[in-house]
C-alpha cells in the first residue's frame, strides 16, 4: 500500500532528521505540530502513516475470524441499536480497513463507508473485494460528509471516533456535516470519552493510560520486500485544557531504501465532557443526545445517540 501520494503528504507534514547509525542512515519522521492544533488534512497524514504500515503487518483474516474478533463483538452490540425493518441506509464514517462496515453489510444493512485516510479507503476496497462483497468506500473527512455523500441521505451515521476530534473546530464542522447528511429523524451513533455524564478529563486519561501497556514492541514482520517492527509508546499529554492519551505508533522499516522510523502519533482526547459534546451537537441542529448501554458477550458497551 505505500504509494507516492502518501510519501508526498508525509514529507510535507513531517519533520525529517537524519541520524548516523552504524548500520547506515536512519530517517526519523514525525509531525511538527501539537496534536491539538492539527486540522483534518494533517490528521489524514498521521492516519495514512499508521494505516500504510498496519496494512503491511496485518494478519489475513476470513469473515468468520473477523466476526469472532473485537470488531464482531462491537457490531453485535451496534446492531442492537438498529431496527432492520426501519433502517435503510447506514454510513460508517470511520471505516478504517472496513471490518465493521463489512459486518454490517453481512447482517443485511445497506451500508457505505468513508475515512479521512486514503490508504485505509484503498485497503478497505481491496479487503471487501477479496471477501466477495461490494461496498462503496470513499475518501472523506467528517466535515465533508454532506458534500461527498449528499444532504439528507442516511438513516444512520456511525462514528466510532468522534471524541478523537482534536479540537473544537473539527468537532463542530463534523457535527454540522453529519446533521446535513442525515435524513430528518436520522441518528448519529457515536463513541465518546465521557459518555452520558461528565468525568474529570485527567482521571479519565489516567484510567485510559493504565488500561493498556505503556510500551510494546512487536515484530519483525517481513512483507513486500520490507522488514518492519512496531513500537507503541503511550503517554498522557496535555496543552492547556487539551488532554489526551498520545500513542506513538513507531515503525522501524528496513527496505531497499535503507532504514527509517515512521511515527504516527495518534491522540485519544479525554477533554470532551458530556456537557460540552451534547451542547455542540445541539448547536449543530440535533434535537437530542442520549447514552445507551448495550450488553455484549464481553460486558457492557456504551454508545451515544444523537437524533436529528
Ligand atoms: C479508531 S479508528 C477505527 C477504525 C475502524 N472503525 C476500526 O474499528 O478498525 C478511527 C478511524 O477514523 C478515521 N478518522 C479519524 N479522524 C477522522 C476525520 N476527521 N474524518 C474522517 N475520518 C477520520 C481514521 O482514519 C481511522 O480510520
Q: Please classify residue 165 by burial: count the beta carbons closer than 10 Å to its beta carbon, then call 0-12 exposed, 13-18 middle and 19+ buried.
A: buried
In this prediction, residue 224 carries a pLDDT of: 81
In this prediction, residue 31 carries a pLDDT of: 59
Nearest-atom index, ligand 1, CA of 43: 16
In this prediction, residue 260 carries a pLDDT of: 81
100 lines ligand 1 (CB under 6 A): yes
- Listed as ranges, residues in the chain with pLDDT below 50 are 1-13, 15-29
Q: Which residue, judged by its Cα, is nearest atom 20 of ligand 1?
A: 141
C-alpha cell at position 264: 504516527
How far away, in angstroms, is 220 Cα from ligand 1 center?
26
∠ at Cα 157 (5, 200), nearest 5°? 90
Q: Which residue, judged by its Cα, is nearest atom 27 of ligand 1?
A: 96
71 lines ligand 1 (CB under 6 A): yes
HEC per residue, 100-152: HHHHHHHCCCEEEEEECCHHHHHHHHHHHHHHCCCCCEEECCHHHHHHHHCCC
Domains of the chain: 4-59+200-269 (no CATH), 63-198+272-307 (3.40.50.150)
In this prediction, residue 199 carries a pLDDT of: 80
Give 227's contacts (C-beta < 8 A, 6+ positions apart): 219, 220, 221, 253, 254, 255
Residue 219 CA to residue 262 CA, distance in Å, equals 15
How far away, in angstroms, is 78 Cα from ligand 1 center?
17
Nearest-atom index, ligand 1, CA of 96: 27
Q: Residue 292: which H helix or E strand, with range?
A: strand 288-296
C-alpha cell at position 98: 472496513
In this prediction, residue 261 carries a pLDDT of: 83
Sort residue 196 into left (φ over 0), alpha (ψ -120 to 50) or beta: left
Q: Which residue, judged by its Cα, is nearest atom 5 of ligand 1?
A: 96
Per-residue pLDDT of 186-236, as tens digits, reads 999 998 765 667 788 899 899 889 988 999 999 999 988 889 999 999 999
For the whole model, what pTM was predicted?
A: 0.91
Amino acid at each position: 500500500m505505500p504509494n507516492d501520494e502518501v510519501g508526498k503528504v508525509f514529507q510535507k507534514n513531517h519533520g525529517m532528521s537524519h541520524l548516523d547509525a552504524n548500520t547506515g542512515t536512519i530517517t526519523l519522521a514525525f509531525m511538527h505540530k501539537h496534536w491539538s492544533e492539527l486540522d483534518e488534512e494533517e490528521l489524514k497524514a498521521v492516519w495514512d502513516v499508521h494505516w500504510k504500515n498496519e496494512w503491511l503487518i496485518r494478519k489475513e483474516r476470513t469473515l468468520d475470524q473477523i466476526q469472532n474478533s473485537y470488531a464482531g463483538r462491537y457490531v453485535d452490540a451496534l446492531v442492537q441499536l438498529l431496527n432492520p425493518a426501519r433502517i435503510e441506509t447506514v454510513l460508517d464514517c470511520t471505516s478504517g480497513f472496513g471490518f465493521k462496515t463489512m459486518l454490517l453489510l453481512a447482517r443485511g444493512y445497506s451500508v457505505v463507508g468513508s475515512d479521512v485516510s486514503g490508504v485505509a479507503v484503498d485497503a478497505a476496497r481491496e479487503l471487501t473485494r477479496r471477501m466477495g462483497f461490494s461496498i462503496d468506500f470513499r475518501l472523506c473527512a467528517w466535515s465533508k460528509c454532506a458534500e461527498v455523500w449528499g444532504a439528507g441521505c442516511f438513516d444512520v451515521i456511525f462514528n466510532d471516533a468522534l471524541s478523537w476530534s482534536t479540537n473544537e473546530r473539527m468537532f463542530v464542522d463534523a457535527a454540522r456535516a453529519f446533521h446535513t447528511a442525515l435524513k430528518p429523524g436520522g441518528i448519529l451513533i457515536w463513541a465518546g470519552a465521557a459518555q452520558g455524564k461528565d468525568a474529570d478529563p485527567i482521571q479519565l486519561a489516567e484510567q485510559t493510560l493504565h488500561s493498556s501497556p505503556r510500551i510494546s514492541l512487536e515484530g519483525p514482520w517481513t512483507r513486500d520486500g520490507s522488514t518492519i517492527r512496531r513500537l507503541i509508546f503511550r503517554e498522557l499529554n496535555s496543552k492547556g485544557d487539551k488532554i489526551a492519551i498520545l500513542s506513538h505508533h513507531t515503525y522501524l522499516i528496513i527496505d531497499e531504501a535503507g532504514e527509517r522510523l515512521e511515527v504516527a502519533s495518534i491522540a485519544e482526547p479525554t477533554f470532551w465532557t458530556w456537557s460540552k459534546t451534547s451542547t455542540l451537537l445541539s448547536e449543530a441542529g440535533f434535537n437530542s443526545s442520549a447514552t445507551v448501554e448495550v450488553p455484549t458477550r464481553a460486558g457492557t458497551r456504551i454508545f451515544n445517540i444523537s437524533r436529528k
